[in-house]
Protein backbone atom coordinates (compact mmCIF):
# COMPACT_ATOMS: atom_id res chain seq x y z
CA UNK A 1 0.00 0.00 0.00
CA UNK A 2 1.07 3.57 -0.67
CA UNK A 3 1.13 4.58 2.99
CA UNK A 4 3.29 1.59 3.90
CA UNK A 5 5.74 2.43 1.11
CA UNK A 6 5.82 6.01 2.37
CA UNK A 7 6.53 4.86 5.92
CA UNK A 8 9.30 2.51 4.81
CA UNK A 9 10.94 5.21 2.68
CA UNK A 10 10.72 7.72 5.54
CA UNK A 11 12.50 5.29 7.84
CA UNK A 12 15.05 4.06 5.32
CA UNK A 13 16.14 7.49 4.05
CA UNK A 14 15.32 9.45 7.21
CA UNK A 15 13.26 12.00 5.31
CA UNK A 16 9.84 13.50 5.98
CA UNK A 17 9.91 15.79 2.96
CA UNK A 18 7.27 15.69 0.23
CA UNK A 19 8.78 17.16 -2.95
CA UNK A 20 6.23 19.41 -4.61
CA UNK A 21 6.70 20.03 -8.33
CA UNK A 22 4.46 22.82 -9.64
CA UNK A 23 6.22 24.09 -12.77
CA UNK A 24 5.33 27.59 -13.94
CA UNK A 25 5.88 28.10 -17.65
CA UNK A 26 6.27 31.87 -17.13
CA UNK A 27 9.42 31.27 -15.08
CA UNK A 28 11.17 29.51 -17.96
CA UNK A 29 12.31 30.45 -21.43
CA UNK A 30 10.33 27.70 -23.12
CA UNK A 31 8.23 24.63 -22.47
CA UNK A 32 11.21 22.40 -23.18
CA UNK A 33 13.43 24.29 -20.72
CA UNK A 34 10.72 24.04 -18.06
CA UNK A 35 10.35 20.34 -18.68
CA UNK A 36 14.06 19.59 -18.47
CA UNK A 37 14.56 21.66 -15.31
CA UNK A 38 11.59 20.02 -13.58
CA UNK A 39 12.76 16.50 -14.43
CA UNK A 40 16.30 17.35 -13.34
CA UNK A 41 15.03 18.67 -9.98
CA UNK A 42 13.01 15.48 -9.54
CA UNK A 43 16.00 13.26 -10.25
CA UNK A 44 18.37 15.30 -8.10
CA UNK A 45 16.07 15.70 -5.10
CA UNK A 46 14.57 12.18 -5.15
CA UNK A 47 17.11 10.67 -2.70
CA UNK A 48 16.07 13.28 -0.13
CA UNK A 49 12.30 12.97 -0.47
CA UNK A 50 9.73 10.56 0.95
CA UNK A 51 7.41 11.18 -2.01
CA UNK A 52 6.77 13.57 -4.88
CA UNK A 53 3.62 15.67 -5.23
CA UNK A 54 2.84 17.11 -8.66
CA UNK A 55 0.01 19.63 -8.51
CA UNK A 56 -2.21 18.68 -11.45
CA UNK A 57 -3.47 22.22 -12.07
CA UNK A 58 -0.10 23.49 -13.22
CA UNK A 59 0.17 20.74 -15.81
CA UNK A 60 -3.47 20.99 -16.91
CA UNK A 61 -2.98 24.73 -17.46
CA UNK A 62 -0.56 23.89 -20.30
CA UNK A 63 -3.11 21.77 -22.13
CA UNK A 64 -2.43 18.34 -23.55
CA UNK A 65 1.38 18.80 -23.65
CA UNK A 66 1.29 19.63 -19.95
CA UNK A 67 -0.77 16.56 -19.08
CA UNK A 68 1.54 14.36 -21.14
CA UNK A 69 4.47 15.92 -19.29
CA UNK A 70 2.85 15.14 -15.93
CA UNK A 71 2.46 11.49 -16.94
CA UNK A 72 6.13 11.44 -18.01
CA UNK A 73 7.17 12.97 -14.68
CA UNK A 74 5.18 10.38 -12.73
CA UNK A 75 6.76 7.62 -14.81
CA UNK A 76 10.24 8.92 -13.97
CA UNK A 77 9.30 9.08 -10.28
CA UNK A 78 8.26 5.43 -10.34
CA UNK A 79 11.52 4.49 -12.04
CA UNK A 80 13.27 6.26 -9.15
CA UNK A 81 11.15 4.23 -6.71
CA UNK A 82 9.64 7.49 -5.45
CA UNK A 83 5.96 7.27 -4.39
CA UNK A 84 3.70 9.65 -6.31
CA UNK A 85 1.06 11.70 -4.51
CA UNK A 86 -1.03 13.44 -7.16
CA UNK A 87 -2.49 16.69 -5.85
CA UNK A 88 -5.69 17.07 -7.86
CA UNK A 89 -8.30 17.58 -5.09
CA UNK A 90 -10.93 15.58 -6.93
CA UNK A 91 -14.42 15.22 -5.54
CA UNK A 92 -17.81 14.52 -7.05
CA UNK A 93 -20.83 12.29 -6.66
CA UNK A 94 -21.70 8.80 -7.82
CA UNK A 95 -20.43 7.66 -11.18
CA UNK A 96 -18.41 10.85 -11.67
CA UNK A 97 -16.40 10.12 -8.52
CA UNK A 98 -15.90 6.58 -9.81
CA UNK A 99 -14.62 7.99 -13.11
CA UNK A 100 -12.15 10.29 -11.35
CA UNK A 101 -10.94 7.34 -9.27
CA UNK A 102 -10.53 5.24 -12.41
CA UNK A 103 -8.63 8.05 -14.15
CA UNK A 104 -6.01 8.57 -11.46
CA UNK A 105 -5.96 5.49 -9.25
CA UNK A 106 -6.16 2.58 -11.71
CA UNK A 107 -4.33 1.36 -14.80
CA UNK A 108 -1.16 3.28 -15.64
CA UNK A 109 -1.64 5.42 -12.55
CA UNK A 110 -2.40 2.61 -10.10
CA UNK A 111 -0.64 2.93 -6.80
CA UNK A 112 -0.81 6.74 -6.77
CA UNK A 113 -2.20 8.53 -3.81
CA UNK A 114 -4.67 11.27 -4.65
CA UNK A 115 -5.90 14.33 -2.75
CA UNK A 116 -9.71 14.38 -2.52
CA UNK A 117 -12.36 16.80 -1.29
CA UNK A 118 -14.87 15.48 1.28
CA UNK A 119 -17.23 18.44 1.33
CA UNK A 120 -19.79 16.86 -1.01
CA UNK A 121 -20.45 14.21 1.63
CA UNK A 122 -18.55 11.27 3.02
CA UNK A 123 -20.13 8.74 0.64
CA UNK A 124 -18.38 10.54 -2.22
CA UNK A 125 -15.04 9.44 -0.76
CA UNK A 126 -15.82 5.75 -1.08
CA UNK A 127 -14.95 5.27 -4.79
CA UNK A 128 -11.52 6.76 -4.13
CA UNK A 129 -10.95 4.74 -0.97
CA UNK A 130 -12.06 1.55 -2.71
CA UNK A 131 -9.74 2.19 -5.67
CA UNK A 132 -6.84 2.85 -3.32
CA UNK A 133 -7.40 -0.33 -1.36
CA UNK A 134 -7.75 -2.37 -4.53
CA UNK A 135 -4.72 -0.98 -6.34
CA UNK A 136 -2.27 -0.35 -3.53
CA UNK A 137 -2.88 3.39 -3.46
CA UNK A 138 -4.43 5.78 -1.00
CA UNK A 139 -6.20 9.07 -0.50
CA UNK A 140 -5.36 12.27 1.33
CA UNK A 141 -8.61 13.93 2.30
CA UNK A 142 -8.82 17.69 2.84
CA UNK A 143 -9.38 18.38 6.53
CA UNK A 144 -7.76 21.71 7.42
CA UNK A 145 -6.22 23.37 4.38
CA UNK A 146 -3.25 25.74 4.41
CA UNK A 147 -4.92 28.81 2.86
CA UNK A 148 -5.87 31.78 5.09
CA UNK A 149 -9.55 31.49 4.15
CA UNK A 150 -9.84 27.90 5.33
CA UNK A 151 -11.62 29.11 8.46
CA UNK A 152 -14.61 30.31 6.40
CA UNK A 153 -16.05 26.78 6.28
CA UNK A 154 -13.65 24.44 8.07
CA UNK A 155 -13.97 26.27 11.40
CA UNK A 156 -17.78 26.41 11.39
CA UNK A 157 -19.21 25.10 14.65
CA UNK A 158 -21.48 22.05 14.54
CA UNK A 159 -23.08 19.95 17.26
CA UNK A 160 -20.12 17.55 16.95
CA UNK A 161 -17.37 20.18 16.95
CA UNK A 162 -15.79 22.30 14.24
CA UNK A 163 -16.49 21.09 10.72
CA UNK A 164 -12.84 20.14 10.17
CA UNK A 165 -12.98 18.06 13.35
CA UNK A 166 -16.11 16.28 12.12
CA UNK A 167 -14.26 15.35 8.93
CA UNK A 168 -11.24 14.18 10.93
CA UNK A 169 -13.39 11.90 13.10
CA UNK A 170 -15.06 10.42 10.00
CA UNK A 171 -11.67 9.69 8.44
CA UNK A 172 -10.52 7.94 11.59
CA UNK A 173 -13.59 5.69 11.42
CA UNK A 174 -12.86 4.89 7.78
CA UNK A 175 -9.23 4.15 8.56
CA UNK A 176 -10.22 1.85 11.41
CA UNK A 177 -11.81 -0.50 8.87
CA UNK A 178 -8.28 -1.59 7.93
CA UNK A 179 -7.23 -2.53 11.45
CA UNK A 180 -4.10 -1.43 13.27
CA UNK A 181 -1.31 0.72 11.86
CA UNK A 182 -1.40 3.51 9.31
CA UNK A 183 -4.33 3.23 6.94
CA UNK A 184 -4.78 4.10 3.26
CA UNK A 185 -6.99 7.02 4.34
CA UNK A 186 -4.70 9.99 4.92
CA UNK A 187 -5.49 13.62 5.62
CA UNK A 188 -4.38 17.07 4.48
CA UNK A 189 -3.68 19.42 7.40
CA UNK A 190 -1.93 22.67 6.57
CA UNK A 191 1.53 23.25 8.00
CA UNK A 192 0.37 26.85 8.35
CA UNK A 193 -1.76 25.83 11.36
CA UNK A 194 0.91 24.59 13.79
CA UNK A 195 -1.21 25.18 16.91
CA UNK A 196 -3.80 22.71 15.64
CA UNK A 197 -1.51 19.87 14.62
CA UNK A 198 -1.64 17.99 17.91
CA UNK A 199 -5.43 18.07 17.88
CA UNK A 200 -5.64 16.57 14.41
CA UNK A 201 -2.88 14.06 15.14
CA UNK A 202 -4.90 12.86 18.16
CA UNK A 203 -8.17 12.76 16.20
CA UNK A 204 -6.59 10.71 13.38
CA UNK A 205 -3.94 8.43 14.89
CA UNK A 206 -4.15 6.01 11.92
CA UNK A 207 -3.89 8.65 9.20
CA UNK A 208 -0.73 9.75 7.45
CA UNK A 209 -0.87 13.54 7.43
CA UNK A 210 0.15 15.63 4.43
CA UNK A 211 1.22 19.09 5.57
CA UNK A 212 1.43 21.63 2.72
CA UNK A 213 2.75 25.12 3.24
CA UNK A 214 6.44 24.76 4.11
CA UNK A 215 8.59 27.52 2.68
CA UNK A 216 6.77 29.92 0.35
CA UNK A 217 3.52 29.85 2.36
CA UNK A 218 5.37 30.71 5.53
CA UNK A 219 5.27 27.50 7.58
CA UNK A 220 8.43 26.63 9.52
CA UNK A 221 9.77 23.14 10.06
CA UNK A 222 10.50 23.72 13.75
CA UNK A 223 6.78 24.24 14.43
CA UNK A 224 5.60 20.91 13.00
CA UNK A 225 6.73 18.24 15.47
CA UNK A 226 3.18 17.69 16.77
CA UNK A 227 2.09 16.34 13.37
CA UNK A 228 4.21 13.21 13.83
CA UNK A 229 3.42 10.23 16.01
CA UNK A 230 5.52 9.11 18.97
CA UNK A 231 7.89 7.28 16.62
CA UNK A 232 8.55 10.41 14.57
CA UNK A 233 6.66 9.20 11.50
CA UNK A 234 3.09 9.37 10.19
CA UNK A 235 3.39 12.67 8.32
CA UNK A 236 5.11 14.26 5.35
CA UNK A 237 5.60 17.98 4.80
CA UNK A 238 5.34 19.49 1.34
CA UNK A 239 7.52 22.22 -0.12
CA UNK A 240 7.19 23.24 -3.77
CA UNK A 241 8.27 26.73 -4.84
CA UNK A 242 10.90 26.82 -2.10
CA UNK A 243 12.65 23.91 -3.79
CA UNK A 244 12.11 24.08 -7.55
CA UNK A 245 12.49 27.88 -7.61
CA UNK A 246 15.04 28.19 -4.82
CA UNK A 247 17.23 30.40 -7.03
CA UNK A 248 16.36 33.01 -9.65
CA UNK A 249 18.63 31.33 -12.19
CA UNK A 250 16.66 28.04 -11.82
CA UNK A 251 19.73 26.19 -10.64
CA UNK A 252 19.06 22.49 -10.16
CA UNK A 253 21.84 22.30 -7.59
CA UNK A 254 20.22 25.10 -5.58
CA UNK A 255 16.93 23.20 -5.70
CA UNK A 256 18.58 20.01 -4.45
CA UNK A 257 20.31 21.90 -1.64
CA UNK A 258 16.99 23.47 -0.67
CA UNK A 259 15.42 20.00 -0.50
CA UNK A 260 18.28 18.79 1.72
CA UNK A 261 17.84 21.83 3.93
CA UNK A 262 14.12 21.22 4.41
CA UNK A 263 14.76 17.53 5.07
CA UNK A 264 17.32 18.33 7.75
CA UNK A 265 15.10 20.96 9.38
CA UNK A 266 12.21 18.50 9.63
CA UNK A 267 14.45 15.82 11.11
CA UNK A 268 15.71 18.28 13.72
CA UNK A 269 12.13 19.28 14.59
CA UNK A 270 11.11 15.65 15.18
CA UNK A 271 14.18 14.95 17.33
CA UNK A 272 13.49 17.79 19.78
Q: Catalytic residue positions?
A: 89
Tell me the residue ranges of DSSP E strands in 3-78: 17-21, 51-54
Kindly report the CA angle at 23 between 81 and 46, in degrees rounded to 5?
A: 20
| Torsion sign across C-alpha atoms 176, 179, 185, 189 | positive
Give the dihedral sign, CA 59/6/242/254. negative
Beta-carbon count within 10 A of 144 CB? 26
Could you tell me if 256 and 208 are in contact, meaning their C-beta atoms sit under 8 angstroms apart?
A: no
C-alpha to C-alpha distance for 81 and 71, rounded to whole angstroms: 15
CA distance 124 to 117: 9
d(CA 184, CA 179): 11
How many angstroms from the chain centroid is the CA of residue 114?
8
218 in Cβ contact with 148 (< 8 Å)? no
Amino acid sequence: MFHQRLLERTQKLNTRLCLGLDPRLSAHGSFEQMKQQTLAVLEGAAPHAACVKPQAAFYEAMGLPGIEFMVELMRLARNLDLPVLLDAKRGDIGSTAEAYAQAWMTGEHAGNALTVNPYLGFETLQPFIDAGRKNGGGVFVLVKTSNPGSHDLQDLATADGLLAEVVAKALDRLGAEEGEGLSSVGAVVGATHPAELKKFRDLMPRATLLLPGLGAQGAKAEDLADAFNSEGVGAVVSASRGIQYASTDLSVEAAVQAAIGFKDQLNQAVQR
